Amino acid sequence: MSEYRLVKANAAGRDFVVGDVHGMFDRVEEALSRVDFDRDRDRLFCVGDLIDRGPQSKEVARFLDQPFVHAVCGNHEDALLQMHARSAQPNSELWLDGADWWREL
């Protein structure tokens, strides 16, 4: 995994930044709707802590695969990757929602 990626200026659309979504996908969708986000021209940069705590972590994780989304790893994502690498059960101290969404995904 690369530590950085150069992203060229977006001459065709607008760029937006969001962070600390914490599994609240409805709020992301609502915000994108409010700014009339154009998925063909605009870009969304997600700056970490996108999953865990809220009820829609699975939706957030799937959303990150969209071509207009660019994301960096926050401490909640890092904890999930470490848990997955160890094939461990979710740690209730880290995963307030129990990480059931991860098992389903």
CATH number 3.60.21.10 given to 15-104: yes
Report the pLDDT value the prediction gives residue 1, as an integer from 0 to 100.
55
pTM of the model: 0.77
Distance between CA 82 and CA 88 in Å, rounded? 9
Which of 20-29, 53-62, 63-72, 94-103 comes out lowest in average pLDDT? 94-103
Task: Let me know if 22 is a catalytic residue.
Answer: no
Residue 21 pLDDT greater than 70, yes or no: yes
Residue 91 pLDDT greater than 60, yes or no: no
Report the pLDDT value the prediction gives residue 87, as an integer from 0 to 100.
66
Single out the residue of 53, 57, 73, 60 nearest to residue 1, CA to CA.
73
Buried b (16+ CB within 10 A) or exposed e, 34-53: eeebeeeebbbebebbbbbe
Q: Which residue among 22, 70, 76, 84 is the active-site one? A: 76
pLDDT in tens, 51-68: 888 889 889 888 989 999
Radius of gyration over alpha carbons of the chain, in Å?
A: 15
